[in-house]
Chain A
C-alpha cells in the first residue's frame, strides 16, 4: 500500500502555476526524493501534503487520509523539517523538544524518555540544555530531525534538509537520514536540488516547472540516458579502435590519446573488451551517467547548483538587523 498518493494535483498562485497536474505514489518505508531546480514546485507540493496550503485542484492523501478534509489526522501522521529553521532560538534544545511533545499530545510519562532518546539518536544529548541560538547550522538541522520524530510519525518530510550546511555537516546529517526508515519505521519524503543527495533515494521524481518529467529509481533514471561511457588507453590506439569496432560494433571516438565509447552495460562490457584486445590495454575507466545527465537530457539544461546558502546568510543577517532595531 502506498503511504502517499497524489492525484492530478495543481496549485496556481494568481497567474503562476507552481504545481501542474502531478501524479505520484510513495511506498511505505522507502526514501522518496523530489529533485528539481529552485522554484520547480517542490516546496509547494510539500506544503500541500503538510496541510499548510490548499491545492487549486486535484487530491492528496497521506497515510490514508485526505490532506484537505482530514487535516488533523494527516498532521498527526507526519513530521516535518522545513527549509528554514523553525526552532525557538531562545529556548534550549530540550525545551524545544518538550514543547513539541506537548503539542502532539505525547503521554506525560513517556515524554522525557522519548525526547532523550531522539536527542541521543542525533548526538545532541550532551548539549540538550544549551540554548538553540548557540547551535551551528548542522546541529540545528539535526535537532529538527529529532523533533520531527518525537511523535513517531509515519512520514517524515525533509525540505532541502542540507541547504546552507557545510560539506561535513551534510555528510553527517545524511548518515542519520538513511537510517531513519529502518530505525524509526518511517517513510522519508525529501526534496533537494543537490544531485548527489538524491542518490540515496529509493525512488526519485524529477520535477521541473511544476511538472514531473521522470520518476523511478536512480539506476532506472540513469539508464534512460543511454548507458555508461568506457574510456580505454592502449599502446596502439589505431589498431585497438579498429578491433573494437569490428568485434563489438561500438562507435569509438578518441580524445587526448584516450578512446571512448558509450555502451549500455559498462561493467560487463569492459572484461569482454580486455579479453579481446588485452595485451594492448594500458588503463580503463568507466563513467556512469549522473542524475545531472538525466536532468540535462530531459530538460536541456543543468540543475543550477548556485549557492542558495549565501542567500540564506543574507536573510539571517537582515532578520538579526531588524530585531536589533
Chain B
C-alpha cells in the first residue's frame, strides 16, 4: 500500500469539498428538510404512547441519510474522474488498485463524517440530551458506516462509465436504500418481503447501531431491530467485502 498516494487522494477530495460551498450547503439542507418537514408531518400520525417521539426516532435515520448521500456522491465522483480523464492520471501511476480504492473510500468517510457531525450538533435543539460517550459512539459509528457506504459507492462507480447512469443510481439504489434502512420506520414493522430487503442493506445496520447508542433504554416498537454486536460485525464485514470487490473491479484491463 502506498500511503503517499492514499494521502493525496484524500487531500484532493477534501480540498474540493472545502472549496465547493454549495455542495456542503445542499448536503446539510436535505436532511434538515426531512427532519423538520417530513418528520413533523409523520409524527402527527404516530400515537404518543409508542415510545420515543417520532421527531427523535428519525434522528439516527437522518444521520444515516446524510452519510448515505454524501458517501455515494463522493464515490460517484469517480465517474466524473473517468469522464473528464483525471482517472487515467491515477491509473497509470505506480500505485496499487487497493490504495486507490482505500484513498477514495477514506475521502468519502471524512467528508461524510464531517457532515454527520454537523447534523449531530443539532440534537440539542430537538430536546435531546446526549452524554459525551454517546456523542463519541455516534461519531465512530458514522465514520465506519461512511467507509462501508463509500466503498459500496466505488463498486457502483466502477460499473458505470458515464454520468447518464447517475439518475439510475439515484432512483434505483440510493432512494430504496434510504427507505429500506429503518430510517423512517422500524424494520420490524415492515412487510416480510421488504424486511428481507432491509436485511441485506448495510445502511440498516449502521442506523440500527446509532439507535442503540442514542436510545439505550428503548424496548417497544421504536427500539433497535438487531443486536448491537451484529450491527458492528455487518458494518466491518461489508466494508471489507466492498473494498475487495472495488479493488478487483479496478484491476481489470481492457
Contacts and interface: CB of A to CB of B under 8 A. Distances in A.
Nearest to B80: A323
Contacts of B162: 322
Interface in B57-91: 83-91
Contacts of A82: 85, 88
Interface string A58-102: 000000000000001101101010101111111100010011101
Contacts of B12: 88, 91, 95, 99
B84 A319 contact: yes
Interface in B83-110: 83-96
B8 A85 contact: no
B185 to A, nearest CB: 33
B8 A102 contact: yes
A99 B92 CA distance: 13
Nearest to B253: A54
A129 B77 CA distance: 23
A103 B86 contact: no
Interface stretch (A45-53, A237-245, A264-272): A45-53
B244 to A, nearest CB: 20
A88 B253 CA distance: 23
Given A99-B8, A322-B163, A90 B19 contact: yes
B7 interface: yes
Interface in B156-198: 162-164
Interface residues of B, number: 29
Interface residues of A, number: 34
Contacts of B4: 102-103, 105
B197 to A, nearest CB: 31
B94 A76 contact: yes
A103 B8 CA distance: 7
A248 interface: no
A226 to B, nearest CB: 41
Nearest to B91: A52
Contact of A50 (B5, B7, B11, B92): B92
A75 B163 contact: no
A105 B5 contact: yes
Given A87-B86, A88-B86, A103-B90, A53 B8 contact: no
Interface in B1-38: 2, 4-5, 7-8, 11-12, 15-16, 19
B91 A84 contact: no
B158 to A, nearest CB: 15
B86 A75 contact: no
A104 interface: yes
Interface in B209-254: 253-254
B89 A104 contact: no
Contacts of A90: 16, 19
B15 to A, nearest CB: 7
B88 A86 contact: yes
Nearest to B81: A88
- Tell which of B7, B16, B96, B164 has the most Cβ of chain A within 10 Å: B16
B89 A86 contact: yes
19 contacts: A51-B253, A52-B92, A53-B253, A54-B253, A54-B254, A72-B96, A75-B94, A78-B92, A86-B87, A87-B89, A90-B19, A95-B12, A102-B5, A102-B11, A103-B5, A103-B89, A104-B93, A105-B4, A322-B164
Interface of B: 2, 4-5, 7-8, 11-12, 15-16, 19, 83-96, 162-164, 253-254
Given A80-B92, A88-B86, A147-B89, 13 more contacts: A72-B96, A73-B94, A76-B94, A80-B88, A82-B88, A86-B88, A89-B84, A91-B12, A95-B15, A102-B4, A103-B90, A103-B95, A105-B2
Interface of A: 13, 47, 50-54, 72-73, 75-76, 78, 80, 82, 84-91, 95, 98-100, 102-105, 147, 319, 322-323
